[in-house]
Structure 1
Amino acid sequence: MKFIKNFFERTEPLVQKGAKYSWLGSVHEGFFTFLFVSKDTSKSGTHIHDFIDLKRTMSIVVLALVPALLFGMYNVGFQHYKAIGELASTGFFGIFLYGLLKVIPVIAVSYIVGLGIEFVFAQLRGHGIHEGFLVSGILIPMIMPIETPLWMVALATAFAVILGKEVFGGTGMNIWNPALVARAFLFFAYPAQMSGESVWVALSSTDKVIDGFSGATPMANAAAGHLNYSVADAFFGFIPGSIGETSAFAILIGALILIVTGIGSWKIMVSTLAGGAVMGLILNAASGSEALSAANQVYFSMPFWHHLILGGFMFGAIFMATDPVSASQTEKGKYIYGFLIGILAILIRVINPAFPEGMMLAILLMNTFAPLIDHYVVAGNIKKRMKRAKISA
């Protein structure tokens, strides 16, 4: 890596202000600080610099996403060969390679479009390249159905970066999670391409699907009044679904990385799971009602812990709800914020059959109210201190 660092140091004078290639300064600085710790130091006052800067933080989040991504690649191949009846005759590497070749283009489009827009805004504003898209660029593909057309991925990414982040001032200023903004845009703009059975399993026009195979997700099956996936399949991820959301086991490995490194808020994770469990128990208690249809009976009577490992609930709780920009910032607020996400996600999922997966809407809604939650938490703390001050006086 020494020769790479030397290259950046030799070319730095060429991109400084007033130099011939000064217009490339943001790009040069962005690539250098992505690979190496910034050499900038404080010019005045006393400051302590931590080597864990924003780029390093984002890199750890990407690392935590790797287990779910790798399993997602395998599951894409698994669902493909299962659909065409060749699963038993295809080895592990063949299955994984098929998924790898299907997923890599989606990731490439996300990063090319997103980083391209980031570079343009950095040059126009004359500041460094924001690091936030390091995570958003991998999250967007992971929450997409595998059969989402690449042009739709590009369009959604552009929408998320421009209207979901840059109009608010860039990284650190956005109101909503950018990856979920991309998902919501496609969900409402192109519902036919984001739902149904065919979008979750990668198949070509020449593939012959075996009789009786269903590419429906467990959520769609539950909404229709039946479940045909075991708890083990749901937990380990051998089910149709978005690329990175199917394996609760792989997601929990990522959660462990985030918690151990202190990057992700365990308070939000735990409270989101608690909220989902509470709402699941409430629905279980109402499952005996005669007013419910047969389909609703299946959803209402589903064990609360089963809700937590199906669909995008676990992925949202670990990687989406914990976004430090759009989540609550106060310690008490994190518990309230996460708990309400869990409540709303299961409530939307069960009560409204038009949205069999409620995690996206729940997180976006609570992103909107996170500043309000923090406001009242801070106001409450101030009120308590004022009372203590009066008593001591």
Structure 2
Amino acid sequence: MKQLRRFLDKVKPHFQPGGRLQHFHSVYDGFETFLFTPSTTSTTGVSIHDSIDSKRVMIIVVLSLIPCLLFGMYNVGYQHWLAIGSSTFPFWKLFGYGFCQMFWRIVVSYAVGLGIEFAVAQWRKEEIQEGFLVSGILIPLICPIETPLWMLAVATAFSVIFVKEIFGGTGFNIFNVALVTRAFLFFAYPSQMSGDNVFVATDSVLGLGQGTTVDAFSGATPLGQVATHTGTTLQINNVVGEPLSYWDAFIGLIPGSVGETSVIAILIGAVILLATGIASWRIMVSVFAGGFLMGIVAHYFQTPLYPVSMLDAVQQLTLGGFAFGAVFMATDPVTAARTNAGKYIYGFLIGVIAILIRTYNNGYPEGAMLAILLMNAFAPLIDYCVVQRNIRKRMRRINIKA
């Protein structure tokens, strides 16, 4: 690390005003502050500094997503092996296949997003903002594995430009950047975001796996299967028609977006976020509470017209992107409510609306994405109402004492 520090100090003058690479000062500053904690201090006033800046916070969030990423890579290979009718499941081959599938998706996400961020920072002559460190890994995790790379690039560029940079960059965006990327894909290219085949990779990669050799298989997610279910007995199956258990869904050996299937991996990430104080436990608990309550209500009033209502409350929380959204999306500090009371309201409504959408809308059996985006729009209003209520309470106390 000392050699790297000396190298950065040696080339730094070239990026300072008057240097031959002065136009790339933002790029240099971004790499330097990513690798080392900035040493700048205040010259006036009283200030307290520590080593935890926004880049360090973003890195912790990325680390909390690693369990979902690693398991997602394995599950991509596992679903592929099931689809080709294999009877053996070699761990490293499955994981290697998933790694090869995910590698270029992560590269495209970061290359497009960070490329735009670097360009905008140079144009504005500002520091490079670090928010995309998290969004860049979230985007591949919440999209189906069969999403074409060019679609991923277009959606990422749209989201970074029109949801983030146009509002002023990190800290000013109203909506979650990763969720808008998925929403753009869902509405612009619906055939690539739903259906029986988009959640299972079927092509061969670097000699790992094979092209699909079975005539037919169903890669529909459990929620997709439920939404099209007819009859009185509900049975969720894997890609080759074998019954799935609660344990399969909890572990994550089911079709779905790469990072959203394993509740265990998501809970590990939640522990990291809560232990480090990065995420709000109020929002997280409230989302699950709202979803659980609405799941009970929907199941109690279940009807054949809305098959998803046949799921019990626990299944509603463990299937689809609900748990992932509650832990990693709803808790985004930029787009979420910021008052303590507002966080409870914000999270609870996300949980209720997510289950409400997926239960009573046969055309969209998910719900978490739209619920979070909707409440992103209402988060400022919730905070405003909470603050105004506190002001009125204090004014009444003043009047009573007077």
The match for 1:265 is 280
Listed as ranges, the matches of 1:217-366 within 5 Å are: 217-225=221-229, 226=234, 227-228=236-237, 229-287=244-302, 292-293=303-304, 296=306, 298-366=307-375
CA distance in 2 between counterparts of 1:158 and 1:208 reads 32
Instruction: Please point out which of 211, 214, 238 is paired with 1:210.
Output: 214
CA distance in 1 between counterparts of 2:117 and 2:272 reads 28
Amino acid at match of 1:175: I
Shift of residue 181 of structure 1? 0.6
CA distance in 2 between counterparts of 1:299 and 1:106 reads 31
Moved more, 203-212 or 99-108: 203-212
Shift of residue 307 of structure 1? 0.4
CA distance in 2 between counterparts of 1:130 and 1:302 reads 42
Shift of residue 5 of structure 1? 1.1
What are the Cα deviations for residues 251-281 of structure 1, in whole angstroms up to 9, with x where unaligned?
0000000000000111110000000011111
Residue pair 2:78, 2:89 contacting (<8 A) in 1 also: no
Q: Does 1:183 align with 2:182?
A: yes
The match for 2:39 is 39
The match for 2:105 is 106
The match for 1:59 is 59
The match for 1:71 is 71
Shift of residue 89 of structure 1? 2.4
What SS does the aligned partner of 1:39 have? Answer: coil
Amino acid at match of 1:321: A
What SS does the aligned partner of 2:44 have? Answer: coil
CA distance in 2 between counterparts of 1:212 and 1:117 reads 41
Shift of residue 390 of structure 1? 1.5
Residue pair 2:172, 2:334 contacting (<8 A) in 1 also: yes
CA distance in 2 between counterparts of 1:10 and 1:82 reads 54
CA distance in 2 between counterparts of 1:155 and 1:128 reads 25
TM-score normalised per structure 1:
0.96
Consecutive unaligned residues of structure 2, counting only runs of 5 or more, are: 205-209, 238-243
Q: What is the alpha-carbon root mean square deviation over aligned residues? A: 1.2
Q: How many residues are paired up?
A: 386
The match for 1:166 is 165
Residue pair 2:250, 2:318 contacting (<8 A) in 1 also: yes
Return structure 1 stretches of 4+ with deviation > 3 angstroms.
Answer: 208-213
What SS does the aligned partner of 1:165 have? Answer: helix
Amino acid at match of 2:348: F
What are the Cα deviations for residues 28-59 of structure 1, in whole angstroms up to 9, with x where unaligned?
11001101100111121110012110000000
Shift of residue 148 of structure 1? 0.3
Moved more, 4-13 or 136-145: 4-13
What are the Cα deviations for residues 154-201 of structure 1, in whole angstroms up to 9, with x where unaligned?
001101100110000000000000000100000000001111011000
Amino acid at match of 1:243: V
Amino acid at match of 1:11: V
The match for 1:15 is 15
What are the Cα deviations for residues 335-356 of structure 1, in whole angstroms up to 9, with x where unaligned?
0000000000000001001111
